[in-house]
Structure 1
Amino acid sequence: MTGIPLTDDFANGGVSFWYRQIGLPARRPSLPGSREYDVAIVGGGYTGLWTAYYLKKAQPDLRIAILEKEFAGFGASGRNGGWLSAEFAGSRERHAKARGRQAMIDLQHAMFRAVDEVIDVTRAEGIDADVHKGGLVHVATNPAQRRRLREEVADLRSWGYGEADMRLMDRDEQRERLQVAGTLEAAYSPHCARVQPAKLAVGLASAVAALGVDIFEGTTVTEIRPREGGKASAHTPLGVVSAEYVIRATEGFTASLAGQHRQWLPMNSSMIVTEPLPAEVWKHIGWAGHELLGDQAHAYVYAQRTADDRIAIGGRGVPYRFGSRTDRRGATQARTVALLWRMLVKLFPAAADARVQHSWCGVLGVPRDWCSTVHLDHATGLGWAGGYVGSGVTTTNLAGRTLRDLVLRQDTELTALPWVGRQVRQWEPEPLRWAGVQLIYTLFRAADRHENDRGTTTSLYARLGDLVSGR
């Protein structure tokens, strides 16, 4: 990584910076043998933890187990960019086709409320996750991005966003909030908060365990089966867990389950974080409100100012590995670290002398139509939620509360939302899957180069990329 300033204790992979900051949690016991429960949840990330939390709160006598291969919060839940955002993955038009346009508007408003719901739970449970609700800023740094941002803000008006929910900022407000080099246009939404992801995961796992949920770590589920003799089941080398309902909450690791290899594509995303920046640098950048930051590029980046005054910034890097494989070491390729560093310096020239302290990557789940989903089949006893495409910090909370209502057979506003019951076709087999993803991101990167050089409208490369991807 020649040319990139690194701290003396720079680390790449293993765990995220978020866990390096707080230390890895003590491991919980593995499954001691075959057991029976009312609800078994496969996956100890945000989805599984929120589902267990709300089920146990609603019905304390439920016997609930979480089965986790590593430790609770190991995957994307402890590796993400810390965006507690109301942004929802997927096409609004597609969701509207299921139950009507108003249903999609209801879903968007449910996401607005979910941001505050997560914050309320952290306060109620005493979870110190560095939460700060400063909102979200999207910047456009070339004419094509500016046009796209203006069109998107205008379009959001028809999907439940009022002026107070998302608006373009004038120049004075842009400069007051955040100095991003080359900004031509910026939009602001209050529906976003910064979190320290690992603190949230560890705190939530402790709250769930305190409620009486059994969390078995170091327990690999190899297969999930529908009801056989009245029970659904999750199979592990340590024993079989039978339950009235088995919930799949494995997100980017779903491909590791038997029969699920093509269900959701595991997409990689990488991050770097700087050392703490001095006060003189922050005088140039601003960012006193600790807003979350995103751009309008097709191969987009996302960033936050951490509670201890670092910049954490992420992007796709190498998005996919052949055969839906996942890199469990969490290391980021040198060229991806260099790419993220160049983007950080481009956006924040004042931080050019800052050193990088840590880099890491994680995996997220992408359905074939890029739309999140939550589902429960009472006949088979199987349910799932996921496919968040990188917008899971908030969406997992909504999923957990929705799965609670579905398991308890309650018809509520949540169970009527249009992402409930959504099923899409599987991804193509290899090598088509690998070739398709490589083509998609080659086109997106080409589109960004074209727009940065001379484009005033969205590049045809990006339109072709969207067509191939099915977004």
Structure 2
Amino acid sequence: MSASLSPAFVNGDVSFWYRAAGLPTPGPRLGGDLQADVAVVGAGYTGLWTAYYLKRARPSLQVVVLEQEFAGFGASGRNGGWLTGDLAGSHERYGEDARRLQRAMYASIDEVIAVCEKESIDCDLVKGGVMNVARTPAQAGRLRETVAVARSWGIEEPDLHLVDPADHVRVSGALTASWSPHCARIQPAKLAQGLARAVRDLGVPIYERTPVTEITPHRALTPYGTVSAGHVIRATEGFTARLRGSRRQWLPMNSSMIVTEPLPASFWDEVGWRGAELLGDMAHYYMYAQRTADDRIAFGGRGRPYLYGSRVDARGHTHEWTVDALWRLLTDFFPAARSSSVAHAWSGVLGVPRDWCSTVHVDPATGLGWAGGYTGHGVTTTNLAGRTLRDLILGEESELTSLPWVGRRVRPWEPEPLRWLGVHTMYRLYRLADHRERTMPRTSALARFADLITGH
């Protein structure tokens, strides 16, 4: 089934989130060599939160941010708008201290809410919780197992529990669901632009249209000058592979989204989607969705997951077959949405480490630091990263600097063509597994093999 497209349908142009206000006009470029205390490379959430917390803690610091396009151009302005408490990685790989990391993630949601209130950032933020739905017996089994495992890691009943999906959002074919209050809806571009304003108000210059080509100890090199600094922080997430020597560091994984035209009140009454709940599922080739502030469904999933050689399609264009696939899945979840149409489609990239777990690190000797590899959970994790980088840069021991993701070292991805073959094989197997599980009572061995191939 081909997607029903609105007469005003747009493909790309960064994302739908910029559609109402329009793309921001980039600020000035770097105007020559510069000396600073801290140079932050990347004006997405990670870079903006880091600059924000550094200047709040130490107003005398000379902090500068370097951005190749404009603040919020990358994943920060394209994501699904999930301010979620889910860990960016598995509890097992973080070890026993994952319990502290999980609590820090939950607290980070409320920290973002508090900063938005303090800085008057209107980003359609509503803490409405999240429901993950299972639509096959195999998915239902995985969901029950997920909740049981969560208990063993100290995630208690109020934090995550099984529910009847009809009590929250009525998804066609749903068998069971889980519910967590630890998630809030945001409008991603509004948060990015609001943070950029708050950072500038603190006196931090953001040099836009200034791509950093190489990072070395105490230096960030650009075509318009070199910034020398005591600390240089890499906050480039899915665009990290563009930096010299970093092509295999984090894999740039594509994710795609569509958004419908506004849906009438009768639709929301029919499906029971009364508030700002976020919605996910338990498929291997999973989806994610939100009800936007203007009553649309923003619906995402994996399209063409990876481009050979870690290339990135920066403009956000989405292939027609991906738009059609997302529309089929959306209308399978909500048949009543077939009366609507797709207003916008776009794609973005997220950073994936080899072990699928995030890291944050600062080396006092070289002044080099980074945070990222959020695997799609970056909206909340970036805030925790920004506060942790602040403490590491200032040399202050804290509860944050002792969390288990600090200083983790992960081996790089394999050279091509191995990583292209591995990623595409993984998602091919996941699609086949989802298809087979329509008639299977348990998780397909194909999915377990896919996990084994890529260490997911």
TM over 0.5: yes
Question: Is 1:165 equivalent to 2:165 in the alignment?
Answer: no
Measured in 1, the distance between the counterparts of 2:319 and 2:271 equals 28
Question: Is 1:465 equivalent to 2:450 in the alignment?
Answer: yes
Measured in 2, the distance between the counterparts of 1:193 and 1:411 equals 30
Question: Is 1:341 equivalent to 2:340 in the alignment?
Answer: no
Write out aligned runs for 1:60-459 (5 A). 60-96=59-95, 101=96, 103-169=97-163, 171=164, 174-226=165-217, 232-452=218-438, 454-459=439-444
Amino acid at match of 1:16: S
Amino acid at match of 2:180: S
Measured in 2, the distance between the counterparts of 1:89 and 1:393 equals 10
The TM-score normalised by the length of structure 1 is: 0.96
Deviation at 1:15, TM superposition (A): 1.8
Measured in 1, the distance between the counterparts of 2:250 and 2:189 equals 24
Measured in 2, the distance between the counterparts of 1:262 and 1:284 equals 47
For the 8 Å contact 1:108–1:159, the answer to whether it is kept is no
279-288 vs 329-338, which deviates more?
Answer: 279-288
Deviation readout 1:53-76 (Å, 9 max, x if unpaired):
000000000000000000000000
Deviation readout 1:114-144 (Å, 9 max, x if unpaired):
0110011101100000001000000000000
For the 8 Å contact 1:22–1:199, the answer to whether it is kept is no
Alignment length, in residue pairs?
A: 456
Measured in 1, the distance between the counterparts of 2:136 and 2:422 equals 28
For the 8 Å contact 1:298–1:445, the answer to whether it is kept is yes
For the 8 Å contact 1:43–1:249, the answer to whether it is kept is yes
Deviation readout 1:12-31 (Å, 9 max, x if unpaired):
01220001122212321000
Deviation readout 1:90-119 (Å, 9 max, x if unpaired):
1211110xxxx1x21000000000011001
Measured in 2, the distance between the counterparts of 1:29 and 1:375 equals 29
Deviation at 1:263, TM superposition (A): 0.2
Tell me the equivalent position of 1:4.
3
Runs of 4+ in 1 over 4 A off after TM superposition: none
Tell me the equivalent position of 1:58.
57
For the 8 Å contact 1:177–1:289, the answer to whether it is kept is no
Deviation readout 1:239-293 (Å, 9 max, x if unpaired):
1000000000000000000010100000000000000001111111111121000
Q: Percent identity?
A: 63
Measured in 2, the distance between the counterparts of 1:107 and 1:127 equals 26
Amino acid at match of 1:466: D
Measured in 1, the distance between the counterparts of 2:173 and 2:54 equals 48
Amino acid at match of 1:380: T
Structure 1 residue matching 2:198: 3-state secondary structure: helix
Amino acid at match of 2:74: G
